Every structure is written in C-alpha cells, then in structure tokens.
Amino acid sequence: MTWQTFVFVVVAGLAFGYSGYRFAILYRLLKAQRGKANRLGHLGARTLAAIADVFGQRAVLRKRGPGIMHATIFWGFLIITIGTLEQFVSTIHTSANFQFIGQTPYLTLIWLQDFFTLGVLLAVGYAAYRRYVIRPEGLGKSRDADLVLTFTSSLMVAILLMNGFHILGDNPWYRDAMPVSKYLATGLAGLGLSQESNHALWLVFKWVHMLIVLGFAMYIPSSKHLHVIAAGPNSFLKRLSREKGMTPINFEDESIQQYGTARITDMTWKDGLDLYSCTECGRCQDLCPAYNTQKPLSPKALIMDLKENLHRNKAKALAGKYDEVGPLIDGNITDDVIWACTSCRACEIACPVFIEQTDKIFDIRRNLVMMESRFPAEMQPVFKNMETNASPWAFNPSERVNWAEGLNIKTMAEGAEIEVLLWVGCAAAFDDRNKKVLRAFASLLKKAAVKFAILGTEEQCTGDPARRMGNEYLYQSLAKANVETLNRYNVKRIVTACPHCFNTLKNEYKEFGGNYDVIHHSQYLAGLIGEGRIKPTKAFDETVAFHDSCFLGRWNDVFKEPRDVINSLPAARLVEMKEHHDSSMCCGAGGGRMWMEETIGKRINVARTEQALETKAGVVASSCPFCMTMLTDGVKTKDMQDKVKVLDIAELIDQATP
C-alpha cells in the first residue's frame, strides 16, 4: 500500500464516516415525527414524475435564467462525479480506471466531463453575479450559499488545473477528448516547468480536488445544500395531482390527544423531508401576496424557521422527550405569521422541490384554534354563525333561497328531475352583489334549457372557511351533514360558481363518502357555449382583464375555460394582468382572511386591483364571489368605480346572450 492510498483511505473513511453519522441523525429526526403521512402509492407515476423533475429539471426550469444555471450545475455534477469516482478508485488501486467501458464511450465521457467542468464554472459565475450584483430579494443573504459557491468554483478550477498539468506531465492519450483542459495546458506550458514539476502539480490538484469533495460531503448534512440529497426523494414523494384536500382528523380515535401541530414533532416525516429539501431560492417568497404587502409571513422564512426549530429541539426529539420539545410559535414564527396566509398556494406551485407550506400552516392553525382557543377575535362570530346558521354570516337559514325570488327554480325536495344540481354557496345566497351573479348564471342555465335544481334551505356552508381557519371539527360537522343531504337525493353532478365550494365538494368531501362530479361554472359555461346551447351574439366592445381565483387556478388547474368564456364574447378583448395563471396574485380573501381585518402593511386586494388597473381595461372579470367582493372594494378604494366595472364571467355572457 502506497502512502497516497493509506492517507486517502484514512481521510475518506473519516469524511464519509462523519457524513454518514450526520445523515443518520437526520434520518432519526424524520422517524421522531409523530404525524402520519402515506406517499408510497402509484410508484410508476411517481418514478416518471421524479425522472422529469429531478433528472429533467422540469420544475427548476420554469424560471428560465436561474433554471438553466441550476440545471447546468446539476447535470455537470452528475457527469463530473463519475470522474471523481475514477480518481478515488485510482488512488486506492493505481491501475484502476473506467476504460473498460470501451474507447469510444470512455472518450465521450472524458469530453462530457471536460465540457461540464467549464459549464459548471460559468454557471457558478452567473450564480455569483445574480447573488451579489442583481441581488433578487427572494435570495436574501446567506453565508452558507457564499461558502458553497466558493467550494464549487474552487472544485472546478482544481479539476481543470489537474487535467491541464496531467496533459503536460504524463501526456495522456485522451488529451484530444479534453478541448478545454488541452487549451488550458497550452497556456500552462508557457510556465516552462519540467515534466516532473507538471506531474507533481497534477498530483497536488488531484488531492485538492478530492479533499474539496470530501469536505463538501461532510458539510452537506448541516447546510442548506442538504437539498442535493433530500430534493430527489421529496420530488418522488410529492402529490401527483395539483388538486388536493386537507388531511382530515379522526375525532373518533381516542388515542389522538393532539389536534394540529403544537410542536415540531407533531409534524409528519414528509414535513421533515420538506424542511431538508428547501433550497432557499426564494421563489415562494417572490409570489407570496402576504410578503409582498409587508405582512410578517415569508414562506421561505417559515420553512427555514421550522428547520431551525427542529434542530434546536433535536436532542429532546431523539430522546423521545416530546413534552419537553419547545412550541412552534416562538420568537421567529409568530401568530401574525400564521394568520397572514391567504391559502393561495402560490408558494407551493412555485417551489421547485415541491414543499407543501400551506399544510403546515393549516395544521398549526388547527392547534391554535382547537387546542388553545387562540385566534383573531374576528373569527369568533364566524364560527358561531356557522354553528347556528350554517353560514359564516349572521343570516337566518330561511333566507338562503331569497336570491332566487321570481326565477321559478325548483328545489330537490320538490322532486325535480335534473341534469345538474346548482350549489349556490353562502356568498351568492346572502351577499347582494353576488346574488346578481347567481341570478345571471341561473338565467343562462334556463336559456340553455338545462334541467337543474337547488337544495334551497337544506344547503349549508361547505365548511371551507372553518377548515382553513383551523376549526376542523366544525368543518366536519357541516361536511357530513351536506354529504348526507346530497346522497339522500342521489346527486351525481354539481355545478357551482364558487371556487371554494368547488374545491371542497370536489376534493375534500370524498373523505366522508361524497363522490360527485363537481364542475365550476366557468367550465360548465365553456361547455354550453362549445355545444351551441348558449350563443353570445351581442357585441361586447370592451377590454376585459381576467383575475384568476386561487382555488380555481392554482388549487385545481382551471385556467383555460374562464378565458374561453370571455373570448366567446363578440368584440371583447381579453388582456392579462402582470401576474396571471400560476403567478396570479391572490385577492386576499382566502384562508379565512375574508372575515379578518387586514391591519398590517398594504391591503392585498388593493395591490391586486392596482395590477388590474394597469391594464387600462374597462372591465375586470372574476369567477369567484370572494374575488368579486375584494376587487370591487379595491376599485372603490382607488376611486375608479365610475370607470371600471367588476363583473363575473356569467354576467358578461348573460348580457351578450339574448
């Protein structure tokens, strides 16, 4: 055994031993999480998705510039690591190499390694330029990132110098397959060093190369670059469909003593993997409506603070001393942080490693509401109204059908034969502005000769506001009552103009035996127009800016149909706001914020209204009663109500359809 072999085996053994020890602790921390999560179904679909998202960098490349930079570094390291492995092997056994794969494949591998070494170095240069010159707010400042950029650039320089001096010192037969290193060797030749000196420098930089890799292996478990290990599994274990419902609580299980998340150990192992996977890229923060209107919530900071809490309580968690683990609500994560969330899901859709921020916020709210009775005062009357009136507002349930006065709409109790049940929703039933929307939609259904009916006074709130506010028990009582009513009438198909009702009926009632074909009114109208059952013929000579509802778009991937409806209007001109589709800004009403005062920073609905007004459109169109309310208030705040109208897409089509 040569001295090089001995030293390398000792150093590599210590480095990988330390790294393995740290990874073992991280694994034990995941196992210490007491919440339950099941993400192991549909293995084939998961494998294909992971290949596209990890090796294809699909999610990363949604943001072109940084995406290309990251993808270059990722693909480069995959190829370069093969060369590093060859260096490790040849250090242990001098004659060992990868030439056994054949001359042409080996030369191709050498060329790729040389090409990607330069590519990674250039990508790191761009990353440094972006971090230190452009300075996007979402990135922030990070000594960790500074160190990793130094590590990576030094490694690439070491590899190039190693190859360059190797060409000069030993004149390897494959030098023509290394155009970058060969060009560098030409420059190094100008130093006039002897062949022995060049060989010695090759050996020096080979060791620099290997030591940097070993040092990085030791550093990864305690740095933000843990994501290079965790992001792959996290991508494999992501939710496969965009649609999702909140995880229900089994209140009949007497073994459950804690509702929601009070401590970091109340989270699931998947939540812990989310924390490990965060790259701190800031894409979530860039789109967060709360952060962008000066609220204390930053999705990025929340994940980092949760991770810090996990490590702070590491010893107690590993020892099983769960009662001694500190609370999640601490100096960093405050009540205002948790209640600022509008549940718009912009953070989750933007995240390139599929972290689920909203689930963590919802579970923290559940603990605050159901275990600690600690929530904003404005929520108390909402809960009381939902308990006594089956609506967030203090209206008598008997008034739920008043919106339909004079329209001759039958209820299910009257034995109506229907194609579809019209789910009205609380906003359309009780809010004067949104009553007009439902009347317009009902008018269109009649014009299309659709057989439909309503539940009337038997309809109750879906429970969505209670669930997003953290009152899971109240939500379940309303959900089970509605499912019982719907199933009693053997309802199969439901249409609703409220995205919140749409999401809850479609994605969350399944847990309670409510399996229905649920359609949003934008989808239904697009279908009726496509079939020729509705024919908008009156000219609508107006520029229309469409606002995407979060629970319709980001939660359920419905973007096309509302625009198809608007484009069916003769003479109408559809324009997009600065932020639209997946990047659309929330109106500010989701997550129960509809009933909470907004006392910190700028009002979200005003910020979104300003984006709408920038388009110079005469009409701002929406497809959600919450958005209708918030945008209407925003237009009034900007004193533009005489110049800009806020209309639902159903109202637009009804006006244009004789």
- Per-residue model confidence (pLDDT) at position 278: 95
Q: What is the pLDDT of residues 275-288, one digit of tens each?
A: 999 999 999 999 99
- Per-residue model confidence (pLDDT) at position 593: 95
Residue 559 pLDDT > 70: yes
641: in domain: yes
- Per-residue model confidence (pLDDT) at position 565: 97
Same domain, 91 and 217: yes
- Per-residue model confidence (pLDDT) at position 1: 67
Same domain, 77 and 217: yes
Q: How far apart are CA 450 and CA 358, in angstroms?
A: 38
Are residues 622 and 628 in contact, defined by beta-carbon separation less than 8 angstroms? yes
Q: How far apart are CA 119 and CA 141, in angstroms?
A: 25
Which of these, 359, 375, 592, 343, lies nearest to 465 by C-alpha position?
Answer: 592
Q: What is the DSSP letter of 268?
A: B
274: in domain: yes
Residue 412 pLDDT > 90: yes
Distance of CA 374 to the CA centre of its chain: 27
172-176, 385-389, 509-513 — which is least confidently predicted? 172-176
Mean of the pLDDT values across residues 218-236?
93
- Per-residue model confidence (pLDDT) at position 144: 87
Which residue segment(s) compose the domain that 390 sits in? 379-529
Binned at pLDDT 50, 70 and 90, residue 495 comes out as very high
49: in domain: no
Distances (CA, A) of 356 to 62, 72, 351, 413: 18, 26, 9, 41
Are residues 12 and 216 in contact, defined by beta-carbon separation less than 8 angstroms? no
Same domain, 67 and 83: yes
Q: What is the pLDDT of residues 242-274, one digit of tens each?
A: 999 999 999 999 889 899 999 999 999 999 999
CATH number of the domain residue 20 falls in: 1.20.950
> Which among 131-135, 188-192, 492-496 has the top mean pLDDT?
492-496
CA-atom Rg of the chain in angstroms: 30
Q: How many domains does the chain have?
A: 4
Task: Using the 3D structure, point to which of 508, 529, 550 is the last residue of a domain.
Answer: 529
Residue 174 pLDDT > 90: no
Distances (CA, A) of 176 to 164, 184, 331: 12, 12, 59
CATH number of the domain residue 534 falls in: 3.40.50
Same domain, 211 and 307: no
Total residues belonging to the chain: 658
Same domain, 178 and 326: no
245: in domain: no
Same domain, 84 and 200: yes
Q: What is the pLDDT of residues 618-641, one digit of tens each?
A: 999 999 999 999 999 999 999 999
- Per-residue model confidence (pLDDT) at position 287: 96
Q: What is the pLDDT of residues 9-44, one digit of tens each?
A: 999 999 999 999 999 999 999 999 988 888 888 999
249: in domain: no
- Per-residue model confidence (pLDDT) at position 173: 85
Task: Using the 3D structure, point to which of 371, 397, 425 is the last residue of a domain.
Answer: 371
Same domain, 395 and 512: yes
- Per-residue model confidence (pLDDT) at position 172: 87
Binned at pLDDT 50, 70 and 90, residue 97 comes out as confident
514: in domain: yes
Same domain, 322 and 359: yes
Same domain, 525 and 535: no
39: in domain: no
- Per-residue model confidence (pLDDT) at position 94: 79
pLDDT > 70 fraction of the chain, expressed in percent and rounded: 100
Strand spans (E) along 28-113 = none
Same domain, 10 and 127: yes
Distances (CA, A) of 495 to 399, 427, 454: 21, 15, 10
Same domain, 70 and 117: yes
Are residues 276 and 270 in contact, defined by beta-carbon separation less than 8 angstroms? no
Are residues 165 and 178 in contact, defined by beta-carbon separation less than 8 angstroms? no
pLDDT > 90 fraction of the chain, expressed in percent and rounded: 89
Q: What is the pLDDT of residues 601-622, one digit of tens each?
A: 999 999 999 999 999 999 999 9
Strand spans (E) along 433-591 = 452-453, 493-496, 517-520, 543-546, 573-575
At 454 the three-state DSSP class reads strand
Binned at pLDDT 50, 70 and 90, residue 331 comes out as confident
Q: How far apart are CA 601 and CA 378, in angstroms?
A: 18
Are residues 162 and 205 in contact, defined by beta-carbon separation less than 8 angstroms? yes
Same domain, 292 and 155: no
Q: At what angle do helices 625-637 and 604-614 cross, to 10 degrees?
A: 80
Q: How far apart are CA 507 and CA 215, in angstroms?
A: 47
259: in domain: no
Task: Using the 3D structure, point to which of 511, 529, 547 is the last residue of a domain.
Answer: 529
Q: How far apart are CA 270 and CA 95, in angstroms?
A: 44
CATH number of the domain residue 279 falls in: 1.10.1060.10
Q: How far apart are CA 410 and CA 453, in angstroms?
A: 5
Which of these, 181, 178, 4, lies nearest to 90 by C-alpha position?
Answer: 4
Q: What is the pLDDT of residues 451-479, one digit of tens each?
A: 999 999 999 999 999 999 999 999 999 99
**How many other C-beta atoms lie within 10 A of the C-beta of residue 560?**
12
